[in-house]
Structure 1
Amino acid sequence: MSKLRIIVGALLALVLLAGCGQAGAPQQQRTLTVLAAASLTESFEELGARFTADHPDVRVQFDYQGSSTLAEQIRQGRAADVFASADTKNMDKVRDLVGTPEILATNKLTIVVPPGNPAGIASLADLAAPGRTVVVCAPQVPCGSATQEVTRRSGTQLKPVSEEDDVKSVLNKVVAGEADAGLVYVTDARAAGSRVQAVDFPESQQVINTYPIATIAAAPQPQLAAEFMAFARGPVGREILANHGFGAP
């Protein structure tokens, strides 16, 4: 009889242990994939940290590239949940593959030069002076399209030594001392801190980039995608974006 009690006791203990293990098991982690324009890097990293603080079972996976590259990837069937573009043109390219886009923020160009401004750049026209090495974004990238528009309106003819696939690549070339100046967004200049010096120019006010955000129609995590989009456009998101230099929608 004592042996039977021992066996029954052992079985009960195993059942209790199994129950405790299930009760204490962590929630299965979900991954939210966000494709975002390179100029959103610093603000979205902070936004993601705030979002996951409210969603501890969620890991936000960001991919920051030029908006034109990301739009093409979506058209090629890349699996993702949210797309944030640095212009409406590239969002329009995937209009049939996303939900209704909403305006997230605005941005404008500025000139960045190495600390001390050794080339003495003081205006947009100075970038066209002989011997100046200037780096810009490629025309298909939003910052490149903005550069073309602002130079067209001002009558400035640039001869860039390099056209980059995203705005961070332009910034990095100036930081590395590979150019006298580059045209980037004001938010990128702010993010670079003391590594560059910003030279604002009045013509930039004529070309404002609008940043739309949308959930992707075939999103693996549609509910999370909608929550992230609402969070990014809500009070917390707008405060973060403003702190990084973005303009209001």
Structure 2
Amino acid sequence: MKRRAGLLFVAFVCLLAACVCLSACGSEAEVAQTTTSATATAGFGEDAASIMVYAGAGMKKPMEEIGLAFEEQHGVVVEYNFTGSGAQLSQIELTHQGDVFMPGSAMYLDTAEEKGLVEYRQNVAYHIPVITVPQGNPANITCLDDLAKPDIKLVWGDPEVAAIGKTGIGIVKKAGIYEAVWKNVVATFPTMNEVMLQISLGQADAAINWWDTVKFDDTIEVIEIPREQNDIKLIPVGLLKFSEHPQTSRGFMDFCVSEQGKAIFEKHGFVTYPDPDYEG
């Protein structure tokens, strides 16, 4: 009798262990299936934990906010390189690494496309050049021609690497004052943020910068450049041909031009594409 009871107890223990094991295996399978499904959904059908985006320094604030919103909605981390557009183009061409390129001017994406580096593109917003001066405008700058006056101290974006530097040179050449203006340039900087800082600190009398960059800075005053003298730049975004996560990257690009993405750009002072006032 005791022997029979002992055997029954052993059988019961074995059965219980088998049920626990089956239950655990089922749960693990369910978790694995759910995790795989979530990854595919978040990564637009790809197993993408992150994407690499080259964005012009002038888009830092809106792009960081867009990156966080995209990660929250899709579970994909957006890693950024915020340097001058020219420097970014050189890095892209040299390394063939990264997923998305959003330079401060379409001319850089045009060049990348001509070099066979870009597969797909969309238009996002506009960069509008303005004259910036320190609060109080101590040099009494009122127009482009004032930048050519003797003894005016200017800072400038480095035209070799910064979209605003190259654009500014085009504007003063168009106005026929390039040589006189360039004599007044006391320093150049690789990004527009550094140019803005110099004006904010009163280290120079004026600079040409993007309107969206300085719009909310109360240490800087703005003099608008008339449309006929200006060179408004379209901000595009392009998918790099060697992207390791092309579908996820396209999803990110679509997010940038979505209503939510546009609202973020507008919040940071940008005019979003398309706008009839800046077309043609």
Q: Give your verdict on TM over 0.5.
A: yes
Unaligned runs of 5+ in 1: none
Please say which structure displays the higher CA radius of gyration: 2
Moved more, 168-177 or 60-69: 168-177
**Contact 2:164/2:210 (CA < 8 Å) preserved in 1?**
yes
CA shift, 1:97, in A, is 1.3
Which segment drifts farther, 125-134 or 71-80? 125-134
* Closer, same or farther: CA 215–13 of 1 in aligned 2, 3 Å: same
Q: Quote the offset at 1:148 in angstroms.
A: 0.8
**Equivalent in the alignment of 2:127:** 107
**Partners of 1:185 and 1:23 in 2: how far apart?**
52
Matches within 5 A, 1:3-14: 3-10=10-17, 12-13=19-20
1:85 and 1:211 in contact (8 A); partners too:
yes
Shift of 1:236: 2.4
* 1:22 CA drift (Å): 6.2
> Structure 1 residues 154, 16: closer, same or farther in 2, change over 3 A?
same
- The amino acid of 2:62's aligned partner reads S
Contact 1:150 1:203 survives alignment (8 Å): no
State the secondary structure of the residue aligned to 1:100. strand
Structure 1 residues 106-145: aligned runs within 5 Å = 106-140=126-160, 141-145=162-166
8 Å Cα contact 1:232/1:238 also seen in 2:
yes
- Cα–Cα, structure 1 residues 17 and 146, in superposed 2: closer, same or farther, change >3 Å? same
Verify: 1:189 aligned to 2:214, yes or no.
yes
More off after superposition, 219-228 vs 87-96: 87-96
Aligned-residue identity in percent: 25
* SS of residue paired to 1:42: helix
Q: Relative to structure 1, is the Cα distance of residues 200 and 12 closer, same or farther in structure 2, using a 3 angstrom cutoff?
A: same
Q: Distance in 2 between matches of 1:200 and 1:125?
A: 13
Q: Report if aligned partners of 2:51, 2:78 keep a CA contact under 8 Å in 1.
A: yes
1:82 partnered with 2:100: yes
Q: Is the 8 A contact 2:196 2:209 kept in 1?
A: yes
| Partners of 1:134 and 1:162 within 8 A in 2 | yes
Classify 1:92/1:201 alpha carbon distance in 2 versus 1 (closer, same or farther; 3 Å): closer
- Residue 197 of structure 1 aligns to a residue whose secondary structure is strand
Distance 1:235 1:4, change over 3 A: same
Amino acid in the other structure paired with 1:207:
D
CA distance in 1, matches of 2:92, 2:231: 27
Write the distance in 2 (CA, Å) between the matches of 1:69 and 1:204.
30
Structure 2 counterpart of 1:239, one-letter code:
A
Aligned to 1:165: 190
What's the C-alpha RMSD, in Å, of the aligned pairs?
Answer: 2.4
Which SS does the other structure have where 2:218 is aligned? helix
Q: Report the equivalent of 1:42.
A: 61
Q: Which of 126-135 and 210-219 deviates more?
A: 126-135
The answer to whether structure 1 residue 51 and structure 2 residue 70 are counterparts is yes
Q: Which residue of 2 aligns with 1:71?
A: 89
Please give the secondary structure, in 2, of the residue aligned with 1:68. Answer: helix
**One-letter identity of the residue aligned with 1:245:** G
Paired position in structure 2 for 1:2: 9
Q: Supply the AA of the counterpart residue of 2:112.
A: V
Distance 1:59 1:3, change over 3 A: same
Q: Partner of 2:214: helix, strand, or coil?
A: helix
Deviation of the 1:185 alpha carbon = 0.2
1-10 or 98-107, which deviates more? 1-10
Aligned residues: 247
Deviation by residue 1:113-149 (Cα, 9 ceiling, x = unmatched): 2223333322222223333221111223321121111
2:255–2:261 CA contact under 8 A, matched in 1? yes
Q: Is contact 2:53–2:79 with CA below 8 Å preserved after alignment?
A: yes
Given that residues 110 and 204 in structure 1 are in contact (C-alpha distance below 8 angstroms), is that contact kept between their aligned partners in structure 2? no
TM-score (ref. length: structure 2): 0.78
Distance in 2 (alpha carbons) for counterparts of 1:99 and 1:195? 41
In structure 1, how many angstroms separate the alpha carbons of the residues matched to 2:57 and 2:190? 10
